[in-house]
Amino acid sequence: MGIRNGMKMFIFAMAGISFGSVACVADTLGQAMTKAYNHSGLLEQNRAVLRAADEDVASAVATLRPVMSWSSGIQSNYNKSLSSGVSDTDSTRVSLTLSAEMTIYDGGANKFAIEAAKETVLATRQSLISIEQNVLLDVVQAYMDVRRETETVALRQNNLRVIKEELRAAQDRFDVGEVTKTDVALAEARYASSLAQLELAKGNLQQSKARYRQAVGISADDLSTPPNLPKLPNSFETARSIALQNHPDMRQIQHIIKAAELNIARAKTSSGPTAKISGSLGLNRDDSPRTTNPREISVTIGGPIYSGGNIPSIIRKAQANKDAQVANLHVRKHQIEQNTATSYALLEMARASRKATEEQIRASQVAFDGMKEEVALGARTTLDVLNAEQDLLNAKANLISALADEQIAAYRLLAQMGQLTVDRLNLPVQKYDPAAYYEHVKNAPSESAQGKALDRVLKALGQD
């Protein structure tokens, strides 16, 4: 790591950049991740999706409880004689009825529905973790791209200044007859090329800053040197094993499969009997002093005899949904293995490229210095110097990219292993507790003390 940090400082020194007054106010990679996590609209969206899944559990629980309702009505009767048109009877009846109904047996369908809804909640939580990883990985990519392009712009600016001086020197030497017009033209062409490369680097920097603002939510003003790489496995097999166990997509599909199995069991109960108990209490009063209070309680048992093939179709559909998710788990497993292998290979390539480029810079610097001395002795031409300088510049630009690629590859591998989360990175964020809302709604609270507690939870989540 000492060689690597030394090469970074070497690049900054060659580019003429001074970070002494900026380092204390520059944003770190961890700060950028923290800001993205605290202000991500995508995370907010999927947190709301999770809360909606939590409410499905509450809805399923509510189906096991009695349903109470009321009705009220006024009935007036007018009977008129056809001969005289005079009303023979005129009466008004007022009624009020309270009724309640509760399922006391359904073959376990409601319980299966509750368990399936719980599995869906667990699957949605894993989906939220996957979204969190994508948000943080986007920050790493954007952060390193801005760093890469910023250093490239500085390198191109310094190179342009050097070539401008060489062009001036070539022109002076031409004026005294030491070189030909061809040498001056070569210096002019190299200057024009360097200017074009600088403008291209500036354009790339603006694009990278726009992507950074989208990922983090703020402008990329000053970004500090990235920290050391996160701790990673020493072998692909270890990384692969961790990925298959911890990747949120794998866990999500496993919970979806469990929910599908419960839905199959629930579908099979559709052909069985159900039993309900119901009761009502009424209050009827008419024009006479008499008031009646009809009361009724009943138990009903029933079930399907023939459904035209609908129930078997529902069962087959539930089984097909499970089979689809089992196949999806198989496909996703191979995708995670492939992505992990790719990420690990890219990390190894970036490491090798960085080490080789560091050696290339050392050798190119020696060659460039030697060329300048040999030109003074007349043993080399201006073209030789320009070519040596271009080799050195290319090596420095390659090192900038290699350092950025190494960081990106490391965090991408971390994401494939399911470890690119605020908890594993120990980021100082305002953490979202996915279980807080669920714990308050899982028992389907009504407008009561539980409901007020739920309001407090929503306010704490920023959803008041």
CA distance 126 to 130: 6
**Mean pLDDT value across residues 153-167:** 84
User: What is the structure's pLDDT at 448?
Assistant: 52
User: What is the structure's pLDDT at 25?
Assistant: 53
Q: What is the pLDDT of residues 91-150, one digit of tens each?
A: 777 888 899 999 999 999 999 999 999 999 999 999 999 999 999 999 999 999 999 898
Q: Please indicate whether residue 447 or residue 374 has the higher confidence score (pLDDT).
A: 374
pLDDT at 300 over 60: yes
Residue 282 DSSP class: E
CA distance 431 to 427: 9
User: What is the structure's pLDDT at 21?
Assistant: 35
CA distance 394 to 364: 10
CA distance 187 to 170: 7
Hey, which residues does 279 pair with through a beta bridge?
100, 297
User: What is the structure's pLDDT at 223?
Assistant: 86
Class of the CATH-defined domain 26-77+87-432: mainly alpha
CB-CB contact of 418 with 247 (8 Å): yes
CA distance 311 to 313: 5
Output the CA torsion sign for 178, 182, 184, 187: negative
**Mean pLDDT value across residues 284-305:** 80
* Mean pLDDT of all residues belonging to the chain: 84
| Alpha helices per DSSP H over 40-108 | 41-62
Look at the block and give the residue holding tokens 């509750």. Answer: 114
User: What is the structure's pLDDT at 81?
Assistant: 57
**End-to-end distance of the chain based on CA atoms, in angstroms?**
48
CA distance 44 to 50: 10
User: What is the structure's pLDDT at 212?
Assistant: 93
Q: Which amino acid is at 218?
A: I
The alpha carbon of residue 284 and the mean position of all alpha carbons in its chain are separated, in whole angstroms, by 60
Q: What is the pLDDT of residues 28-64, one digit of tens each?
A: 999 999 999 998 999 999 999 999 999 999 999 998 8
CB-CB contact of 381 with 183 (8 Å): yes
pLDDT at 290 over 70: no
pLDDT at 291 over 70: no
CA distance 106 to 273: 7
pLDDT at 326 over 60: yes
Q: Which residues of 154-191 are buried (b: 16+ CB within 10 A; e: fewer)?
A: bbbbbbbeebeebbeebeebbeeeebeeebbebbeebb
**Mean pLDDT value across residues 147-158:** 87
Q: Please indicate whether residue 5 or residue 388 has the higher confidence score (pLDDT).
A: 388
pLDDT band at 252 (very low <50, low <70, confident <90, very high): very high
Residue 16 DSSP class: T
Residues sharing a CB contact under 8 Å with residue 393, sequence separation 6 or more, in sequence order:
155, 159
**Mean pLDDT value across residues 214-240:** 88
Hey, which residues does 76 pair with through a beta bridge?
92
Q: What is the pLDDT of residues 397-417, one digit of tens each?
A: 888 888 889 999 999 999 999
CA distance 60 to 111: 8
User: What is the structure's pLDDT at 58?
Assistant: 93
Domain residue limits, the chain: 26-77+87-432
pLDDT at 13 over 80: no
User: What is the CB neighbour count within 10 angstroms for residue 145?
Assistant: 21
Residues sharing a CB contact under 8 Å with residue 260, sequence separation 6 or more, in sequence order:
318, 321, 322, 325
pLDDT band at 462 (very low <50, low <70, confident <90, very high): low
Here the tokens at position 315 are: 């069962």
The percentage of residues in the chain with a pLDDT greater than 90, rounded to a whole number, is 48
**Mean pLDDT value across residues 144-161:** 88
Measured torsion, CA atoms of residues 454, 455, 459, 462, in degrees rounded to the nearest 10: 70
Q: Please indicate whether residue 100 or residue 371 has the higher confidence score (pLDDT).
A: 100
Give kind and range of the element (H or E) at residue 294: none
pLDDT band at 20 (very low <50, low <70, confident <90, very high): very low
Output the CA torsion sign for 374, 377, 378, 379: negative
CA distance 342 to 320: 33
Q: Please indicate whether residue 328 or residue 194 has the higher confidence score (pLDDT).
A: 328
User: What is the structure's pLDDT at 3?
Assistant: 38
User: What is the CB neighbour count within 10 angstroms for residue 371?
Assistant: 22
pLDDT band at 450 (very low <50, low <70, confident <90, very high): low
**Mean pLDDT value across residues 6-28:** 44
Here the tokens at position 307 are: 């459904």
Which residue, among 1, 2, 4, 23, has the nearest Cα to 399 in the 3D structure? 4
Quote the pTM value.
0.80
pLDDT band at 88 (very low <50, low <70, confident <90, very high): low
pLDDT at 419 over 90: yes
